Amino acid sequence: MEIDKVLEELKVIMVERLKFEPSRLPDLSLATVLPKDIEGSLGLDSLDFIELSIGIEERFGFVIDEAQDLEAHFQSLGTLVEYIKSRLADR
Amino acid sequence: MPAERAVIQKAMTRFTGVTGSDLDTLTVRVFTDFAMCFSDLVSTNRQLATLRTSHVGNVEGVERLASLSGGLISLTAHVGNWELAGRLLAGKSARPTHVVVSPDEARELQRWVRRDGEGVRFVSRSRPTVSLELFAALRRGEVVGVQGDRALGTRGDVEVPFFGRPARFPLGPFLLSSGAGVPLLPAFCILDAQYRYVVKIAEPFIAVRGEEEAAARTWVAALEAIVREYPTQWFNFFDIWEPFDQ
């Protein structure tokens, strides 16, 4: 799956599961930082990350069960896209 | 500790209806029970696991734990010796247990009671991404231990009646349950009259997607029942009904 396609799918998850305002979607890019408490980030909290995990599992069809490095994969939309691509490639 | 004494008195009044000297007695008992449980915790944490079990008289409902496979959320509260219960239950499970603690607790108590090992790993909820780690652990079939009686003061709280008045409780455990499809297992560790501990494991239940608040009410009912039975062993030294007004 191409980077743009994965990013678009993530944006759908943001709107449908995280109740993200659709009008803000054009502001999202691979550089967008996700966790709260980081300046300029989307401000996702722990509940958002649960919703995001569920949405990714459902939409991309793999199980998030890594014991290592998950936090790094979910730092930005860019790192998340790369993570999803690598998981899809492993199948 | 006048502020803590005042909130304990308020709670005891609501839990038991007592007043006057009986209320004073119960209030003092909360502090003595806490001292007993905490000193036991510090001392038992320095013992071998085999010696630690000698402090426990009975584990009620242990068959409920044995009947569960896969990921599991062990849901407890600041009742009795909850930390001892966590280590005991972890010892009875072949699965790693991730115990969620508040950032303050982790920093101040780590040296004495937050010792990783014997299948237990303490996880501070200081980072928002900690929920990812817990979700993945549940997916791997591991155990997450979490306190269900401390509101966060964020949108992650839900209001549930507690002894007849609305109080806030964390919603996170129930979202994890519904999201990962794993059961919640309420468990408490009570100090009995002979100064031995009794672990009480209640009926497990699963939070249904979209009905997490109903699951929270199920949990609060279990908590209310144990607090009603052991009012002096619920160690919440703040006003549960108005926790963020102090």
The whole-chain average pLDDT of chain B stands at 86
Q: Is residue B176 part of a domain?
A: yes
Instruction: For residue A57, give how far its alpha carbon lies from the nearest alpha carbon of chain B (Å).
Output: 10
Domain count across chain A: 1
CATH code for the domain of A23:
1.10.1200.10
**Span B201-218, pLDDT tens digits:** 999 999 999 999 999 999
B137-159 residue pLDDT tens: 999 999 999 999 988 888 889 99
Q: Which of A37, A45, A66 lies at the smallest CB-CB distance from B136?
A: A66
| Higher local confidence (pLDDT), A83 or B82 | A83
For the entire predicted model, the pTM comes to 0.88
Task: Judge: B129–A70 Cβ closer than 8 Å, yes or no.
Answer: yes
* Residue among B129, B137, B171 minimizing CB distance to A71: B129
Q: How far apart are CA A31 and CA B228, in angstroms?
A: 52
Kindly report, residue by residue over B80-125, the tens digit of the pLDDT.
888 777 776 666 667 888 988 877 654 556 555 556 666 788 888 8
In a domain, residue B221? The reply is: yes
User: How far off is chain B from A23, nearest CA to CA, in Å?
Assistant: 23
Residue B215 located in a structural domain = yes
Q: What is the pLDDT, as a whole number, of residue B15?
A: 94
- The count of structural domains within chain B is 1
Which residue range(s) make up the domain with B190?
A: 55-231
d(CA A87, CA B8): 52
pLDDT tens by residue, B153-204: 888 899 999 999 999 999 999 999 999 999 999 999 998 888 888 989 999 9
Within 8 A of A48 by CB-CB distance, chain B residues are 128
Helix (H, G, I), strand (E, B), or coil: what is residue A76? strand
For residue A74, give its domain range: 3-90
Interface touch B135/A45, C-beta < 8 Å: no
Q: Looking at the partner chain, which of B128, B135, B156 has a beta carbon nearest the beta carbon of A53?
A: B135
Q: Give the single-character DSSP code of A25.
A: G
Please indicate, yes or no, if residue B194 is contained in any of the structural domains. yes
CB contact under 8 A, A47 and B156: yes
How many beta-carbon contacts under 8 Å exist across A and B? 66
CA atoms of B24 and B29, how far apart (whole Å)? 9
Residue B236 covered by a domain: no
Residue B109 CB partners (closer than 8 Å, separation 6+): none
Answer yes or no: is B34 within a domain: no
Contact partners, residue B130, CB within 8 Å, separation at least 6: A46, B100, B123, B124
Is residue B84 in a domain? yes
